[in-house]
Amino acid sequence: MNADTIVEYTAAILMVTGGLMSLVSAIGLIRLPDVYTRSHAATKSSTLAVLLTLLGGFLYFWALERFISVRLLLGILFVFLTAPVAGHVIIRAAHRSGVKLADISKKDELAEAKERLMEEQNLERLNREKKNDSGV
Amino acid sequence: MKGNDVILRTVSRIVVFIILTFGVELFLSGHNNPGGGFIGGLVLSSALVLLYVVFDIETVHQGVPLDFKKVAAFGAMLAVLSGTAAAVLGHPFLSQGFGYFDLPIFGVTELTTVTIFEAGVALTVIGTVETIILSISKDV
Amino acid sequence: MVNTLMLIALILFSFTIVIAVYRIIRGPSKPDRVIALDMIGVNLLASIAVVSCLLETKAFMEVILILGILSFIGTIAFSKYIERGVIVERRHNR
Amino acid sequence: MEVHMIILTGVLVTVAVYLLLSRNMIRMILGTAVLSHAVHLLLITMGGAAEGHVPLLGESDGPYVDALPQALILTAIVISFATTAFLLVLAYRTYEETGTDDLNYLRRVRRE
Amino acid sequence: MNNILVLPMVIPLLTGFVLFFLRPSVRAQKLVASLSILSLIAVSVRMLLKIRDAGILRLDFGGWKPPFGILFVGDSFAALLVLTTSIVSGLILFYAFAATERRHENMFFYPFSFFLVAGVNGSLLTGDLFNLFVCFEVMLLASYVLVTLGGGKSQLAESMKYVAINVVASWFFLVALAFLYGTIGTLNMAHISVRVAEAGQGPLLSAIAVIFLIVFALKAGLLLYFWLPGSYSSPPAPVAALFAALLTKVGVYAMFRVFTLIFYHDSSITHGLIGAMAVLTLAGGSLGAVAYKDIRVIASYNVVIAVGFMMLGLAVFNEAAFRGSVYYLIHDMVIKALLFLAVGSMILLTGESRIDRMSGLIRNYPLLGWLFFITMLSLAGIPPFSGFIGKVYTGLGAVEGGNYWLLLAGFLSSLFVLYSLLRIFMNCFWGETTITREEQRPLNKKKLIPLSLLGALTLAIGVGTQVLAPFVADAAHVLANPEIYIEAVLGEVQPDE
Amino acid sequence: MLVVLGVFFPFAAAGLIPLLYRLIPNRRIGWFVMAVPLVLFAGLLSIVPGIAAGKTANVTVPWIPDAGIDLAFHIDGLSMIFGLLITGVGSLVVLYSIHYLSERESLGHFYAYLLLFMGAMLGVVFSDNLMVLYAFWELTSISSFLLIAFWYHRKGSRYGARKSMLITVFGGIGMLAGFLMLYSMTGTFSIRETITLAPELSEQPLYLAAMILVMLGAFTKSAQFPFHIWLPDAMEAPTPVSAYLHSATMVKAGIYLIARFTPIFGGESTWFWTVSLIGIVTLLWGSFNAVKQNDLKALLAYSTISQLGLIMSLLGFGSAALAAGTDAEQVLLAQAGFAALFYMVNHSTFKGLLFMIVGIVDHELGTRDIRRLGGLMALMPVSFTLAVIGSFSMAGLPPFNGFLGKEMFFQAAVTVSSGNPFTADGAALLFPVVGWIASVFTFIYCMIIVYRTFLGPRQPEKVDRLPHEAPKGMLVSPAVLALFVVGIFFFPNLAGKYLIGPAMPAVFPTLAGKPGLVPHIQAWHGFNTPLLMTIGVIAAGIILFVTFRHWRLIYRFPPFRWNLDTVYRGLIGGMETGSTLITKRYMSGNLRDYFVYIYVFFLAAAGGSLFLKGAFKPDFRMETIAVYEVTFVLIMTFAALAMPFVKSRITATLLNGVLGYSIAIFFIFFRAPDLALTQTVIETVTTVLFLLCFHFLPDWKPERAPARTKIINGLIALGAGAVVTGFALTVKGYVVFDSISGYFEDSYTLAGGKNIVNAILGDFRAFDTMLEVVVLFIAGIGVYTLIVLKAKKGGGDIEGK
């Protein structure tokens, strides 16, 4: 068993781990109660799964032909970069379009924050109006 | 309520850059690797689509002040003309030539007239996709 | 042995995709579906990586990258549609 | 050429035709989209079994899979994209003018 | 090497692009378009003569020998139709110069017309089955745009059906191509023919041929013509004329090409199925032509009848009948253009499209009236107009082939043609005048000249048939003897060895 | 013999008339027009002696030699009779029309049509080429159509014109088919060559069909039962037209055709019986119906029909000569043919005369209704005299040429009933008896013309004009015709020798030169059967005429009431309503129905030829099978099957995206990286497009189709899927040829590219790619125009600039 074979095995095991991770996230996708929690499963563990797999692929090709695939690296970088943003954007869209939280959720902090923001803005506006009034 | 798109926009700028580079690379390497005019053009136009989605038409237009209809027309015309050129030179229509040249910096390089043809294809693809998307969007 | 492991990984990914398709069909909300699509894209990407190892070819590297790019664009477009109903705005003035 | 792919094509055609026969414009257009998926699959299946290497000369020494159907499908994909885009926009313009997305009502638009 | 073969396609394509860039100046567009049309006609004539002298021409694109590359094959049949296409589309465009709204002209009306012509010419010349599909798509996409251009409610509603049905037709084309490639493994038509002959056209290949038949039947309006009357009767006159003159004819041409060159071994299809479809088309078209009162719809059903008539030639399947069909194709392109332009002019002048709302037009517009009269006679196949000779040869072929039912259907249908157009003529042109001299809208010369030229053309073809005769004879000869075509394409290469 | 080319003279003149009419916009133009037939008449007269001596005049101008269609003209005795009639009567009609037509009419049109007709008619009788004959034949229909509808603002004119056009063109088309069949038997369009080949034709299978079709053409043109219905309606034409076309020339074209084709088809029992029977039935039906008419012109129309029937039946009798055994029998029967031609000449003279007189009455009184006429004898003595000459001649009274003709008819009927080669038992007496009855009716309506118009009480209160004698110019033409009516009676053998006689060899070529072929005509031929029959006719005719008002009622009962016009109207009306019903039933305008038609046809035709003709040989062998492939198949099946049932369009679009992406992975399995790349990008862009358009479109509503529709849709869809699958499975097992793509594997040496797919796209099949780019471009700009160019608000469908 030479080094290459070990690397190949490592790559394969990475891939299987990735597969398992992804299955876990899939189970999360089924079992979790609402879109927000499901998104955790989908984005985080799934991203990890992909990263593991791509890494496995990278290693495999390196072991096979000493080939360093720039594209694969770029892909890893890309997924790393975009997956969180995508998750963020979609969840924000969900929230803004009024998707309900699951019943067991205790607190909707974003909504509260928004309310606070609104109140502050209202307050500010009122103050401004007051100033204007006094100025006249 | 003002949308807070800072994260999205920042990441998109980087991403678009990656996509554009990748698109050009695909276009150029198409002769020997997967890729080519079509795919290159499609990838480039998808970068533009991303820009349009993340930003807005007017902002993008400031950066890329192109009439995409004309880009498309120019591309398609280029593709047809590259074929016609061969005919004018006395070869069958659409004959392509290729050769290996020893260029100062690049070393021995393969140059083909297909590249011109492919450029036409890519430009058409970009122009058309953007024309379609912009036409629909401007009609809001 | 290596191949078997890879096949196992591939099957796992495809199971995930099956589940995601189920999620797309069931919903219940639009974002749920979009998340599921995103997940399908990402898992396809992984599957392709595994397949290209299985076939021992580097020809699919571009596809992997493209799929990453596009699933991102797709997700962004969908979420913007869900959020605003309009994907491309003439002027971003809200 | 694989039997399961062929059966899958059949399923896709069935679904697509069912969608085509619907009254809703968007359903109909989705039908055409699925139809084109089906035919691309059919083309590649008819091109021969997937035994061989990727048709890139630098990658391996062959034998390669049949490259011609791939080129044909590429053309077909682009063309079906073009028509789908046009059809979609036509649908939306038709809706804008006639005020209905129900194909069943479109016949009454005729002035006869 | 015969680069001239590609010119009928490249000239309109490039013209289309140039016109696209000339968008701001309608005048420049018209100038360039005219020049292009003239050169197109010159090239077509040159091509036809070259084919007469040198036999079937072939152009291998990129120099790739058949069956590997794509090629254009110019035989007399294709060249004749290319010439007719050029002339007829030119005259329609001249009419369009006078009849098209400014906003349409600004919206690339002319470029799209040229793309349509390019697609038509490409479909006529190509020798590669997949390329035929692509050329069809060029033609169809251009037609989609033209049929919708600036349309209101009913036009869009009809376009929707037109586009959807053609998308499905294109799908059938791809399906058929997939099966054909799966069995025969090649795309060059001549090469397919060789291989089909070699394998013997077994039941499977015949069944695939039936799918091709469906494809072309949809395009040509053979039996599957439901989409035709609606979509041909809603767009403006020049567009309708372009469609009626060119589009269905390409389907008919393709049918002739494919079923004489490739799938000619199974007579149950070529004779039986196509014959039955042709008869049903004739019947349906005849009924439709007398059923409606809208003159555009009547004209559209006449297109259907003509398709049925041309297909009789294929169903009869002998050289005389082929000759008849070639003549009839040429005739029909000219006369359908004239019919639709005349009908369009009538609508333009009266603002009405129903025969019961027009009357006595001949007093106001005598020339238009007589042109319509000529159209009617020519369509009914009355000598010395162009429809006659095609009818004679088709009939002769049917008699020689013993296809008396086809003969009966074909000849009876011309009675329906006559009746349907007589109705228009008598109701709209004769009778009491309803338009006084004061409120008479002018029919300017720019519109009348192309109409008159088309009218003169149908007479000239009828009287000067002898000029066409050698070309048509050659075309029919090639159709009846596919080995000539195959020899011209594959003569110097032995693809299977 | 250049007179043959005179055929083109009227056409040239017709072309010049519009120009001439600009210069001379009044009735004087008629004089110029009249010159045309006069010159031709003179020219024809000049060659009469030559023709009588057995010569012929031939000219051939090539037209479409490749098709065997040449402008071959040929004048023999038969053509000469018709040629003289056409030009002679033509001159008189033009002369008459100069005075008849008002200057307010568009004389230019009238004369152009008339000359057109004249040329066409000459063409018919001079042509030796079947196709040219057909061309001129249709041209007579067209010019007759234009002439009938000369007053096209009248509804009746239009109706009559359309009817005559439809019926004659119908017959013409049938005739064309017959000609084509003849051509397929002989290989020539030349009539003379066909005649020389005639003996070999009768065994050919198409012989009978060709014969019947040719007869169809002749019968429709000559207004034979049951196609006679167009002639009465054609009387809407100006009277000169009726006098010319519908008595002397056009309707005789059918007679000409039958005479011309007697050498080819004569001697066949079918020909004999059909022509004779149709002729005799027409004779009876026409004369019987003429009696009940109130309109003088309609009466004359029916009388024309009846007499055309008489001539037709005579030709039929004569045709038996070609099958008769002995020379004597042959000659005897051939005299029926002689009688036909003789009677035809007579008919042209007296019928033309009568039409002109009726025209004068119409012109002077403004009506031709016999219920409003009467007692005009004193006011219009010349017209009266001429009318008497014409009517008595028509009734078959001496001393007019009609008498001779009628006697010959009776003689022929008797001859043919006593012995002909096709004798049928029981039918022996049919011809003479029916002929006799018809003659009685003929006699009655002749009396009606004379008595109800010119004799009897005047009814000035029913006419709003004071009638007086017609201008002299109008009387010249009828007077000349009257001269012929009388002249032929006294010198019948002059006509027999120079006019009719030379035609006999053309009709009966096998009898040419036989003694007695051209009989000596005698007014007095002793007390034989024909004379007795004539006396009987007169006696019965007078009785019935006197008692007319008593038996008139029978016209109210069937079968006497029957009118074939109803059949025509019913046909036309039924066709219009029926076609509307049928067409609107299946042309629903509903896209779904159209798709159903298409797919049902696909199932029936393609599926039928696959499964029913034994093509279906599925190949279920699995070369390679991988679990993950099956999983992806399941994924796609799952996603696809869900599509029709999902409730929101977003879901459906997402599922479509899933399908698209999954296809991409199948492309990977099939080693197609370029495809996978393209597919993924295109799929994404398409999805974005869907989303863009959704903004403008309403959300889905659940499909509200009835269950039956859904089931039908489902079955069709399943069928389509099954057929495609069946095909694909069969194709899979069809391994006969290798693909040509092995060639492309040298792409690096050939085209300098290592990516074979790209080399195909960019080089081997670059043309496809180029056009595909054009397609894409068109679609893009098309979308742009579709969105930017909107229909004007409130603008209707009617285009306009």
Integer Cα distance of C41 and C72 in angstroms: 9
Residues F573 and F637 in one domain: no
pLDDT for position D111: 46
- Sequence-ordered list of residues with C-beta below 8 angstroms from that of B93, at least 6 positions apart, any chain: B83, B84, B86, B87, E3, E6, E10, E59, E61, E62, F767
Q: How many CB atoms lie within 10 A of CB E426?
A: 21
pLDDT for position D109: 55
Q: Does residue F492 have a cis peptide bond before it, meaning omega lies within 30 degrees of 0? A: no
Question: φ and ψ at F212, to 5 degrees?
Answer: -65, -40
Mean pLDDT, chain F, whole residue set: 85
**E/F interface, count of CB pairs below 8 Å:** 304
- Nearest Cβ partner of C35 from A39, A50, A54? A39
pLDDT for position F569: 86
Using CA coordinates, name the residue in chain E closest to D79.
E137
Does the beta-carbon distance from E160 to D103 stay under 8 Å?
Answer: yes
F390 near F356, Cβ under 8 Å? no
Chain B closest-CA separation from residue D14 CA (Å): 30
The model's confidence at residue F795, banded by pLDDT at 50, 70 and 90, is very low
Counting every residue written for chain F, the total comes to: 801
Q: What is the mean pLDDT of residues E395-421?
A: 90
Q: Where are the beta strands (DSSP E) in F220-335?
A: none
- Residue F479 amino acid letter: A
**Choice among C29-38, D72-81, F185-194, F591-600 with the minimum mean pLDDT:** C29-38
Does the beta-carbon distance from B92 to E1 stay under 8 Å?
Answer: yes
Contact yes or no, A with D (3+ CB pairs under 8 Å): no
Decide if A22 touches C, using CB distance below 8 A.
Answer: yes
Chain C closest-CA separation from residue F757 CA (Å): 13
Torsion E476-E481-E485-E491 (CA) sign: negative
Integer Cα distance of E398 and E410 in angstroms: 10
Domain that holds residue A65: 3-105
Residues F452 and F598 in one domain: no
Q: And the tokens for A26?
A: 């899939």
pLDDT for position F470: 79
Residues A70 and A12 in one domain: yes
Surface of D (8-37) touching F: CB under 8 A: 8-28, 30, 33-34, 37
pLDDT digits (tens, 9 = 90+) for F206-219: 888 899 999 999 99
F269 burial class (0-12, 13-18, 19+ CB within 10 angstroms)? middle
Does the beta-carbon distance from E182 to D97 stay under 8 Å?
Answer: no
Contact yes or no, F with A (3+ CB pairs under 8 Å): no
* Buried/exposed code over E115-154 (b: 16+ C-beta within 10 A; e: otherwise): bbbbbbbbbbbbbbbbbbbbbbbbbbbbbbbbbbbbbbbb
Decide if C6 touches F, using CB distance below 8 A.
Answer: no
Interface residues of chain E, partner chain B, Cβ below 8 Å? 1, 3, 6, 10, 13-14, 17, 20-21, 59-63
Q: Chain A contacts of B14, Cβ < 8 Å?
A: 81
Most confidently modeled of A25-34, E161-170, F728-737, F788-797? E161-170
Whether the pLDDT of residue F796 is over 70: the answer is: no
Residues A46 and A100 in one domain: yes
Whether the pLDDT of residue E291 is over 70: the answer is: yes
Torsion E456-E81-E210-E274 (CA) sign: positive
pLDDT for position F65: 86
- Residue A66 amino acid letter: R
- Residue D85 amino acid letter: A
Q: Which of F618, B46, E118, F755 is nearest to C65 (CA)?
A: B46
Where helices occur in E351-444 by DSSP H, the ranges are 361-364, 366-379, 387-401, 404-424
Residues A34 and A58 in one domain: yes
User: Interhelix angle for F673-694 vs D68-98, to 10°?
Assistant: 0
Residues F442 and F561 in one domain: no
Using CA coordinates, name the residue in chain C closest to A71.
C61
Residues A71 and A123 in one domain: no
ipTM of the complex: 0.93
**D/E interface, count of CB pairs below 8 Å:** 96
Q: Does residue F559 have a cis peptide bond before it, meaning omega lies within 30 degrees of 0? A: yes
Integer Cα distance of A52 and E71 in angstroms: 50
B31 near F759, Cβ under 8 Å? yes
Does the beta-carbon distance from C69 to B58 stay under 8 Å?
Answer: no
Decide if A59 touches C, using CB distance below 8 A.
Answer: no
Longest Cα–Cα distance in chain A:
89
3-state secondary structure string across D78-95: HHHHHHHHHHHHHHHHHH
F221 near F253, Cβ under 8 Å? yes
Whether the pLDDT of residue D110 is over 70: the answer is: no
pLDDT for position B65: 84
pLDDT digits (tens, 9 = 90+) for F301-356: 999 999 999 999 998 888 888 887 777 788 888 888 888 999 999 899 999 999 99
Q: Chain D contacts of F589, Cβ < 8 Å?
A: 106-108, 110
Q: Which of F374, F217, F378, F362 is nearest to F300 (CA)?
A: F362
C93 occurs within a structural domain:
no
Integer Cα distance of E154 and E170 in angstroms: 24
Residues A31 and A69 in one domain: yes
Q: What is the mean pLDDT of residues F29-44?
A: 88
Question: What DSSP state is assigned to residue F760?
Answer: I
Decide if F637 touches C, using CB distance below 8 A.
Answer: no
Does the beta-carbon distance from D112 to E177 stay under 8 Å?
Answer: no
Residues A58 and A125 in one domain: no
Chain A closest-CA separation from residue B98 CA (Å): 28
D13 near F636, Cβ under 8 Å? no
B67 occurs within a structural domain:
yes
Mutate to test the interface with E, among D6, D46, D84 (most CBs of E within 10 A): D46
Q: Chain A contacts of C59, Cβ < 8 Å?
A: none
Q: Chain A contacts of C21, Cβ < 8 Å?
A: none
> Tens-digit pLDDT profile for chain A (136 aa)?
577 788 888 888 888 888 888 888 888 888 877 778 787 777 778 888 888 888 888 888 888 777 777 888 888 888 888 888 888 888 888 887 777 776 666 667 667 777 777 777 777 777 777 666 654 4
F672 occurs within a structural domain:
yes
Residues F569 and F658 in one domain: no
F773 occurs within a structural domain:
no
Decide if F626 touches C, using CB distance below 8 A.
Answer: yes
Question: φ and ψ at F127, to 5 degrees?
Answer: -65, 140
Domain that holds residue C57: 2-84
Question: What DSSP state is assigned to residue D64?
Answer: B
Integer Cα distance of F381 and A109 in angstroms: 122
Surface of C (6-65) touching D: CB under 8 A: 55, 57-59
Decide if F725 touches E, using CB distance below 8 A.
Answer: no
Contact yes or no, B with D (3+ CB pairs under 8 Å): yes
Domain that holds residue B33: 6-138
Sorted by where each begins, the domain ranges of chain D are 3-50+63-109
Q: How many CB atoms lie within 10 A of CB E15?
A: 25
Number of domains in chain A: 2
Whether the pLDDT of residue C92 is over 70: the answer is: no
B1 occurs within a structural domain:
no
DSSP E261-286: HTS-S-HIIIIIIHHHHHHHHHHHHH
B44 near B71, Cβ under 8 Å? no
Where helices occur in C27-93 by DSSP H, the ranges are 30-55, 61-84
The model's confidence at residue E495, banded by pLDDT at 50, 70 and 90, is very low
E382 near F142, Cβ under 8 Å? yes
Q: What's the count of helices (H) and strands (E) in chain D, helices before strands?
A: 4, 0
F78 near F259, Cβ under 8 Å? yes
Q: What is the mean pLDDT of residues C4-30?
A: 85
**C/D interface, count of CB pairs below 8 Å:** 9
Using CA coordinates, name the residue in chain D closest to F724.
D10
Residue F690 or residue A40, greater confidence = F690
Integer Cα distance of F317 and F333 in angstroms: 7
F439 burial class (0-12, 13-18, 19+ CB within 10 angstroms)? buried
Residues F447 and F590 in one domain: no
Q: Which of E179, E173, F781, C37 is nearest to D36 (CA)?
A: E173
Residues A79 and A101 in one domain: yes
Mean pLDDT, chain B, whole residue set: 82
Whether the pLDDT of residue E494 is over 60: the answer is: no
Assigned CATH for D3-50+63-109:
1.10.287.3510
Integer Cα distance of E85 and E333 in angstroms: 7
E468 near E395, Cβ under 8 Å? no
The H or E element that residue E72 is part of is: strand E71-74
Integer Cα distance of F128 and E296 in angstroms: 41
**3-state SS class at F71:** strand
Per DSSP, what are the bridge partners of residue F59? F73
Sorted by where each begins, the domain ranges of chain E are 266-463
Per DSSP, what are the bridge partners of residue F129? F190
Q: And the tokens for E386?
A: 């162009």
∠ CA E105-E107-E109, nearest 5°, is: 55
Q: Chain A contacts of C46, Cβ < 8 Å?
A: 18-19, 22, 49-50, 53-54
pLDDT for position A119: 76
Long-range CB contacts for residues F51-60, cutoff 8 Å, separation at least 24:
F51/F75, F51/F76, F51/F77, F51/F80, F51/F502, F52/F77, F52/F497, F52/F498, F52/F501, F52/F502, F54/F502, F54/F505, F57/F1, F57/F3, F57/F4, F58/F1, F58/F4, F58/F128, F59/F1, F59/F2, F59/F4, F59/F5, F60/F128
Integer Cα distance of E135 and E147 in angstroms: 18
